[in-house]
Chains A and B, each alone.
Chain A
Amino acid sequence: MSDAVLTADDAIASDAPTRALSTASRGETGVIVAVRGDTGVAEAVASDELERRLLEMGFVEGARIEILQEGLFGRDPIAVRVDDTRVALRRREARAVTVQFDG
């Protein structure tokens, strides 16, 4: 569960699918395997800053994730449960988070 600290390597080793959090749909669950700062697109904050913000909000390797809700327009932003906290974020920044989804 949340105790399991999985690394990206573990995830690759197991055959569970890993995808960016930005691709997740409502109801999906999983475990964070990597948090980076760069999202592949231009951001308003430096990638190192984004990474630290994500970490401070609890998006850290090993945390359990559940997609609670999606916005109406472009299914964005998303409400995510990270361990025990609920956090809202946009799909854009969610690209920086890689998740090993259950099932």
Chain B
Amino acid sequence: MTDTAIRPARIALVGNPNSGKTALFNALTGARQKVANYAGVTVERKEGQLVTPGGRTIRVLDLPGTYSLRARSPDEVVTRDAVLGRLSGETAPDVLVCVADATNLRLVLRLVLELKQVGRPFVLALNMFDIAQRQGLRIDLEQLSREIGAPIVTTVATRKRGLDELLTQVDTLTLTHSNVGDNTWREPSAGEIRAAHAEAQRIYRDCVRPPERPDTVTGKIDAVLLHPVAGLLILAALMFTVFQSVFAWATVPADAIDAGFAALAGLVSEHLPEGLLASFIADGLIAGVGSVLVFLPQILVLFFFILILEDSGYMTRAAFLLDKLMGVAGLHGRAFIPLLSSFACAIPGIMSTRVIDNKRDRLTTILIAPLMTCSARLPVYTLIIGAFVPREKVWGLFNLQGLVMFGLFATGIVFALLVSAIIRRIFWRGAAEPLMMELPTYRWPEPRNVALNLWTRAKIFMNRAGRIILPLMVLVWVLSTFPYPPEGATGPAIDYSIAGRLGKFIAPVMEPIGFNWQMTVALIPGMAAREVAVAVLGTVYAVGGDADSHDALSTLLSQQWSLATALAFLAWYVFAPQCLPTLGVVKRETNSWIWPTVMFVYMVGLAYLAAFVVYHTAVALGAG
């Protein structure tokens, strides 16, 4: 028996959305989590480990929430396949932990009946038991356990209560192999769902007595937040606050990071003999990493708000309020969450489209997500606006630079809606996918949860910076440094480098939209990650002249570019698919090369057209 006692086991957390699966997962595994994707389907998979008091290692899998094993969205397919052990390279979990919101048992009991048919050992975790007790909800645990044929533990995931009992049950179940049976599950028909409902209803009536003090707060809050007029106004104010904060809160840490890296580069230049190595470390490595890490604060601030809105239960309300408006553009109300995330970065945005059931709705959302101004575009916008737009007040009230920035955001949103409308009205006509969404009880966001999730986000971002952006910066440095200019050359060194030649080679194509070859050079590695373009412009102009700081670059640009060129560059950036990782995610999400290609072509087309129109209009108006 000792052999099985220490054999590692796998458990999977299954349950309705918002029952506390992720909270329980966090409580069980702490920060020892890995976020990855399921093979083939890019649905985020969280896996973590823990060691039981008995010394057994347990791997915990956090699955996407579901109301039934009958999968409708890619999200739910993953849950079903993980539970049934159909995922490639994986066996069925040793124990299924069904996580239920103790205060909201009706729907989950039917899911429990489905899980029972799977024939795997399972335990029911009655989570949120603190709220159940506060409400005076009485549940006859023994009888409920008998009815569902599985052990029950009560847990408070956010306070780490009940975890030991849960693990003890898991240990026992893996040892005794009790209630393992044949898998008799198959997709239930409507009639079978009704029958299961009736059975669940009977169990509920027999085991649960209604709460003495039911929650009334959610209803009161909803009376305001879901109010047709007040609700929309509050939502607008909230969004405004979020964007203000992204700019306001992130400035100080971003500047600090920027200054830190500049100081580091300065230190290197000072202490290393001038030459290739110093240039490589200061211009290539440090400047490259620094130029990307400055976005970390912005991304974290935006995700902070998204997590708070999600955790509190507000996100579904926002989707409710916006459903009709978004429907005009052919979007599903649920597209709101992915699109909001895309303001931080299109990658998590595109990944979160998995909450949309319908394939066409999902694809439309994916295709327009990169039109949301992601934070990687900000440094480009900031640089150009700083160089070309005067620091003026408009009507003594609005900051002109801020207005231009807002205009760029707005252009992105407007075109996203237009593109979506065109897709849904012309290419994919047909009825809209039903909206059916539980509006969860409002809760205070759990600081620990938010912190853990932010940490995970930061890790993913730095990983990406390290793995994709850093090598590219090194590549850019190599391309813009070699070969050296010949002896006695008079022009700037970069003119002779591979990057310079390449830029000049492509430049004629970009000339009609007012781009010079330096800009063209910047666009190439900018494909890897938009923000790299700023660093490359710095490198190109620094290697070419001697601009060593951000301000200097800004001044330099304002001398070298015409206003028309600068505006065309901004217009290009609103649309251009300047980000290979995004295209890569689209490929993985859609499992086809067609969609990334479509995205690339339509976005480049829009970008070229927009830059062309802006450039020539500006020239005609005398800004050439």
Contacts and interface: CB of A to CB of B under 8 A. Distances in A.
A binds B: yes
Contact of B323 (A58, A83, A90): A90
A79 B438 contact: no
B70 interface: yes
A80 B598 CA distance: 40
A72 B320 contact: no
Given A51-B190, A77-B333, A71 B106 contact: no
B486 interface: no
Interface string B185-223: 000111001100110010001000000000000110011
Interface residues of B, number: 47
Interface stretch (B174-182, B227-235, B267-275): B227-235
Nearest to B103: A84
A54 B439 CA distance: 15
Given A43-B434, A44-B358, A86-B218, A5 B320 contact: no
A35 to B, nearest CB: 8
A71 B433 contact: no
A90 B320 CA distance: 9
B321 interface: yes
Nearest to B66: A56
Given A55-B190, A58-B106, A79-B439, A50 B320 contact: no
B16 to A, nearest CB: 9
* B110, B188, B434, most chain A CB atoms within 10 A: B434
Contacts of A5: 198
B436 A93 contact: yes
Contacts of B434: 43-45, 50, 53, 89-90, 92-93
Interface in A48-75: 48-58, 60-62, 68-75
A76 B324 CA distance: 7
Nearest to A68: B222
B226 interface: yes
A90 B231 CA distance: 17
A24 to B, nearest CB: 15
Nearest to A47: B190
Contacts, number: 125
A83 B107 CA distance: 10
Contacts of A13: none
B452 interface: no
B323 A42 contact: no
Contact of A57 (B107, B190, B227): B107
* B190, B218, B325, most chain A CB atoms within 10 A: B190
B324 A52 contact: no
Interface string B382-426: 000000000000000000000000000000000000000000000
A64 to B, nearest CB: 11
B219 A68 contact: yes
A32 B618 CA distance: 62
B438 A57 contact: yes
Contacts of B333: 77, 88
Given A44-B430, A70-B228, A90-B323, A53 B72 contact: yes
B104 interface: yes
A92 B107 CA distance: 23
B506 interface: no
Contacts of A86: 218, 222, 438-440
A53 B436 contact: yes
Interface string B79-118: 0000000000000000000000000101100100000000
A44 B432 contact: yes
A58 to B, nearest CB: 6
Contacts of A16: none
Contacts of B316: 88
B382 to A, nearest CB: 36
B437 interface: yes
B68 interface: yes
A43 B104 CA distance: 30
Contact of B324 (A48, A51, A71, A87): A71
6 contacts: A52-B189, A56-B70, A56-B110, A77-B435, A85-B107, A88-B437
Given A48-B189, A71-B228, A77-B435, 5 more contacts: A69-B223, A73-B325, A85-B438, A89-B434, A92-B432
Interface of B: 67-68, 70, 72, 104, 106-107, 110, 188-190, 193-194, 197-198, 201, 205, 218-219, 222-223, 226-229, 231-232, 316, 319-321, 323-325, 333, 358, 430-440
Interface of A: 3, 5, 37, 41-45, 48-58, 60-62, 68-77, 79, 83-90, 92-93
| Nearest 7 CB-CB pairings of A with B | A72-B228, A86-B439, A69-B226, A73-B324, A55-B193, A44-B431, A93-B434
